[in-house]
Structure 1
Amino acid sequence: MLEVVDVERPAPPDDGVVIEVRAAGVNPVDTKVRRGLRGNGPLPIGLGSDAAGVVVAVGPATTRWTVGDEVVARGLTGAYATHVAAGSAHLVRRPPALGHTQGAAIGVPAGTAYQVLRSLKLTEGEALLVHAGSGGVGQAAVQFARLWGATVVATARPANHDRLRALGATPVAYGEGLLDRLRRVAPGGFDATLDAAGTDEALLTSLTLTRDPDRIATVVAVEQAATLGIRAFSGSRPGWLSDEERAWRAEALQVTVDLARQDRFSIEIAAGYPLDAVAEAHRHSETTHVRGKIVLVP
């Protein structure tokens, strides 16, 4: 059950701050935490790991941040709030060109896409297949891959194809006949695949068309990965990411903010909900047909 309650405002950690939250990202993993599908300790628990806002208090050992700084944050606990505590290492500065809602939409999607493509060693001139290309992770993966000089084919509903073309990908509709459609647009197959859909269809086409199964990664069907001989990456489960891969997820926040400041990275907001409509935001997320990112605006 989701419930908005009044609690004491958090105190800043010694090397950290308190953020007045202007926007918080809603990620699919949040709905799994709510349902008890992740090991999160005893409930109740504050949800949300991504946010953007203004520093309103600093800890005694904090030297980098001052009250009034505009920040983007990742890796938090309880970002669905008006105020949240954050360690300094979880923050980057928010440039004026990046809105609060866009900033709050970066952490998990961009971090996941960036880390997976780094883990798959995607390089210039290669061909990448992205399943669920119009979601938050998919759109980030398309953009990183194109910036790195790869060609991208992405699966999505036809209504989302124009968005994928604008990001530089060749869109293909999923559903019956997907394998044949992918073969027509990529007769040579793919060097690497990122699966953000987790469907049997996505996994089958990935295995059939990707030259090396070790360069297929899923961020959804992680329990099936070992049986299929592909790779799985999940930041919400201990042991699923190496220390280097966790560092890449953290690195992606600054990388993406810098690209967005240069107008080289586009962040699409699917919907914004007030904090007291968090249940509606989760219902929207669980439709699995979200184009871009859902955010809460306290």
Structure 2
Amino acid sequence: MRAITYDRFGGSDVLQLTDLPEPKVGPDSVLVRVRAASVNPVDFKVRQGYLDPIMDIQFPAVPGWDVAGVVERVGLDTPELSVGDEVYGYVRRDWLHGGTFAEYVAAPVRTLARKPASLSFEEASAVPLAGLTAFQTIERAGVAAGQTALVHAAAGGVGQFAVQILRARGVRVIGTASERNHDHLRALGAEPVTYGEGLVDRVRALAPQGVDVVLDYGSDDLVATTRAVLADGGTVASIVSADARTELGGHYVWVRPSTADLDALTALIEDGAVKVDVAQVFDLADAAAAHDLVAGGHVRGKVVVRV
């Protein structure tokens, strides 16, 4: 099968299109014929060796954790899925090797769910990691209807999902973003504020009593800002800084694969409460360019690789 691989840590130049054997399928896994995979910031960080201290890697490695495709073959004990099912998922294991930037991936059933019928494969591949991250931080923080949430990096890949999920739950959302993304956030139902100097004053002008929760998907000074804007009894959840837990008594969240959470996202998508923003689609052979675009940090929406 064709796959993108890398045999050492480094820049996007280590990525190459090559041929690999079709992966074996374990008892609780299925073989997915990949139709699309999306790029997340963690993908280029993994390629650079960022996770080497905590995750083993077997070279040559195939990058990518997000996938949308069709079940080609089932394992010995996979009653959840059948051949021909259209699925999507966050296919992360505890080691790095067989990722989703390939024609086939062997995926544990716990990482997959049935693809939303209303989405294309390209759109569906853009959901799992970012959507699950947003969903699980909101769940961990216990955000409830009628509350006010401050979402840092609200126009980013994770932030956009968080804004929509929160609005669907009846939560008021204040979102930090550059001014060029303010209209986009308003369209999603958020009240935008520009990040940077004066942020605390701008948030306090909108929420004089403070916010009930801070969701951090990328902030400059989480501890000081949170202490200045969080109402008494409020909480914070971050995917960026462990200070959310150690300094602020909140939550530091590392997203987990979850069929149940993907099903919850599917319901929101099918109800029209959550929409998917795909910025650009690349061919598999151009995966390095897709990595570079995401690494640049200025793309709004998800970058997808079509297989």
Structure 2-normalised TM-score?
Answer: 0.86
Residue 211 of structure 2 aligns to a residue in which SS?
coil
Where does structure 1 lack aligned partners over 5 or more consecutive residues?
236-245
The residue aligned with 1:179 is 200
| Counterparts of 1:26 and 1:215, CA distance in 2 | 30
Corresponding letter in the other structure for 1:25: S
The counterpart of 1:140, out of the listed 141, 161, 166, is 161
Residue 33 of structure 2 aligns to a residue in which SS?
strand
1:224 shift after superposition? 7.4
Matched-pair contact (CA < 8 Å) for 1:73–1:92: yes
**Alignment deviations for residues 16-55 of structure 1 (CA, whole Å, 9 cap, x no partner):** 2211111112111112211111132134222211100111
The residue aligned with 2:238 is 218
Q: 1:149 to 1:214 in 2, by over 3 A?
A: closer
Matched-pair contact (CA < 8 Å) for 1:207–1:213: no
The counterpart of 1:30, out of the listed 43, 46, 52, is 43
Please list, as runs of the form range in 1=range in 2, the aligned pairs for 1:1-298 lying within 5 A after superposition: 1-38=14-51, 39-44=54-59, 45-76=61-92, 77-200=98-221, 202-212=222-232, 215-222=235-242, 226-227=246-247, 229-235=249-255, 246=256, 249-298=258-307
- The percent of aligned pairs where both chains have the same amino acid is 38
**Alignment deviations for residues 198-257 of structure 1 (CA, whole Å, 9 cap, x no partner):** 322x5432221012587112211236752455432224xxxxxxxxxx47x543211111
Which is richer in helix?
A: 1
Corresponding letter in the other structure for 1:291: R
| Counterparts of 2:234 and 2:49, CA distance in 1 | 31
Matched-pair contact (CA < 8 Å) for 2:210–2:230: yes
Matched-pair contact (CA < 8 Å) for 2:143–2:213: yes
Moved more, 283-292 or 25-34: 283-292
Which is richer in strand?
A: 2
Matched-pair contact (CA < 8 Å) for 2:91–2:99: no
Matched-pair contact (CA < 8 Å) for 2:133–2:158: yes
Corresponding letter in the other structure for 1:215: T
Q: Which runs of 4+ in 1 moved over 4 A?
A: 227-230
Where does structure 2 lack aligned partners over 5 or more consecutive residues?
1-13, 93-97
**Alignment deviations for residues 170-204 of structure 1 (CA, whole Å, 9 cap, x no partner):** 1111233222222222222100001111322x543
**Alignment deviations for residues 111-157 of structure 1 (CA, whole Å, 9 cap, x no partner):** 11111111111111110000000112111111111111110000111
Q: 1:82 to 1:34 in 2, by over 3 A?
A: same
Q: 1:293 to 1:177 in 2, by over 3 A?
A: same
Corresponding letter in the other structure for 2:163: V
May I ask how many residue pairs the two structures share in their alignment?
286
Matched-pair contact (CA < 8 Å) for 1:198–1:221: no
Structure 1-normalised TM-score?
Answer: 0.88
| Counterparts of 2:197 and 2:27, CA distance in 1 | 55
Q: 1:222 to 1:5 in 2, by over 3 A?
A: farther
